[in-house]
Amino acid sequence: MTPRRETTPACDYADEYRRLRRLMGSGRVAEAVDNATTIAYNAPTAQRRAQAWLFILQGQINQRAIAEIPTTLDQSDSAVRRCRDYRLTGEFHALAAWYHHHHVKSLHFTAQHLVLASRALRSMQEASQAAVDSWYDLAVVMSNCGYQQQSTAALEECHMLAERIGVPRSSVEGVEILVRDALLRYYTGDPHACIGLLRKELRRVKPHLHVLDKRELEWVHYALGRLMLLGFSEQWSVEQMLPETTSSAEALDLRALALASRLIAQGRGNEALETLDTRVIGSETIGVMEPQHLRSLALVAKGDHAESILAAHQTTYALYKQINEFHTIYLDSAAALVDHDQLRRAVAGWADQANTDDLTGLPNRRRLDAFLVEVVGDGMIAVLDLDGFKAVNDTHGHQAGDAILQRVAALLSSVVRSGDLLARTGGDEFILVLPGATEFDADAVSERIRVAVAAENWEYSVPGTPVDVSIGWARLVPGGDPAQTLWAADQAMYQMKRDRKSY
């Protein structure tokens, strides 16, 4: 998604933006989403509507309203495209990266969105609080997705822009990023470095606690509890500065972890376990290991050493499982890149834009019609339709649906014969023309397609929504009507769908 023009830096909805940002940062996420929804459907300008949709998306991420995010991603994507604003584009891709990392679990799409976000923000000319916030949000998402080095670089960009235009750095401290960096040292075997980083960060932000965003204060609160568990208690607290109630899932997770850490440090293992059992702490907040590790330490504090050993093994298993999943995702992403490369080579001969489908690069209906006129002799025509594709769009959004269509196009291109034509005619329908082929050839191609589609690990691309393909064939005869042959293939494809449903 590449913007063609930059909107004016001095946006006319700055007060509205600040109000929504303040609500979001103070933990009043539900209220911010309600206000943003009203704006999204009633604002007179495309830019205000796009910004509102991004606030809705950010709010749903904060509330972990996962089922609602795919639809909001589609709405945000459409709204941002209409604006062609680099800042909004960067913000959109940062938020999309969070979703693709945690819930689609696609390394390829996560990295792609992070790269697009970074490039968009580097291209923007806007110099405002909103621009500073966008760099900050990208840094936070990068940290949240495990890209710590890149996150630090984005935070530096954020701080440099803030200094250049006179925005107080206290509004974008990045406590979360530095705390995550400290925990990374802890879990990679250097607890002393973790302690040093936590103490340094807490002492650095202590003088400006009164101007910190409430979200940052939640991370300060957690860092104080975690440092106490490591044996270095600071003689101050921010608990009285936190809002009494919050609709942020992240804030609730951090409060539970902070309380459990303090209770363990005080030897109150039973109470720490009760705290950890009261809330299911999402891996999106601070990873898979921290809640498991605290449970193990709580059992030690309780004196239940046998159970603590088992819990420690659960911590190790959580990491092992995550690494295995990462390897699978990595290979799946590498396979996608290979398939896309094969697709590019396969369609190189159909580079004429008027005859090419924009999404997949395959020949379109116009090129298909021309090809059928050129076919000499008999052959076979197939109509292919994806099974389960509507569920992909409904569950994961149209961006994921588009990615699946591209992947299917690549898979189909890799199994068809040289000289055949594979076209996408719209939606999830593909047409395959095999000049000179027999029914035997068609069966062989069908089998190759079924094997390729079945071998694809759709669970890692679109979890819970398996994809399959129905294929209907018809014979192309010399002097026959191609349109009639296509209709016959279409009917054969629908008959296959009906036969499958009857089992």
Q: Coil, strand, or helix at residue 85? A: coil
Q: How confident is the model at residue 339 (pLDDT cuts 50, 70, 90)?
A: low
What is the tens place of the pLDDT at every residue in 73-87? 999 999 999 988 999
Read off the tokens for 340. Answer: 């896309």
Q: What is the distance of C-alpha 465 from the center of its chain?
A: 16
* Mean pLDDT computed over 103-108: 79
Cα gap 230→276, rounded to integer Å: 18
Which residues are within 8 A (CB) of 77 and not within 5 positions of it... i.e. 6 or more apart? 1, 92, 96, 398, 399
CATH class of the domain defined by 1-168 = mainly alpha
Domain boundaries, the chain: 1-168, 350-502
Indicate the CATH number of 350-502 among 3.40.50.280, 3.40.50.1010, 3.30.70.270, 3.30.1340.30: 3.30.70.270
- Amino acid identity, residue 406? Q
* Mean pLDDT computed over 215-237: 94
Q: SS3 letters for 219-263? A: HHHHHHHHHHHCCCCCCCCCHHHCCCCCCCHHHHHHHHHHHHHHH
Decide: pTM greater than 0.75: no
Q: What pLDDT does 323 receive? A: 52
* Mean pLDDT computed over 453-476: 83
Beta bridge partners of 380: 434, 475
Contact 62, 98 (CB under 8 A): no
What is the tens place of the pLDDT at every residue in 123-163? 999 999 999 999 999 999 999 988 888 899 999 999 999 99
Contact 90, 125 (CB under 8 A): no
Query: Pick the residue with more confidence: 355 or 228?
Result: 228
What is the tens place of the pLDDT at every residue in 300-311? 888 765 566 565
Cα gap 216→210, rounded to integer Å: 11
Contact 32, 55 (CB under 8 A): yes
Q: Return mean pLDDT, the chain.
A: 85
Contact 132, 140 (CB under 8 A): no
pLDDT at 266 over 90: yes
> What letter does residue 207 receive in the DSSP assignment?
G
Among 64, 50, 45, 65, which Cα is nearest to 20's? 50
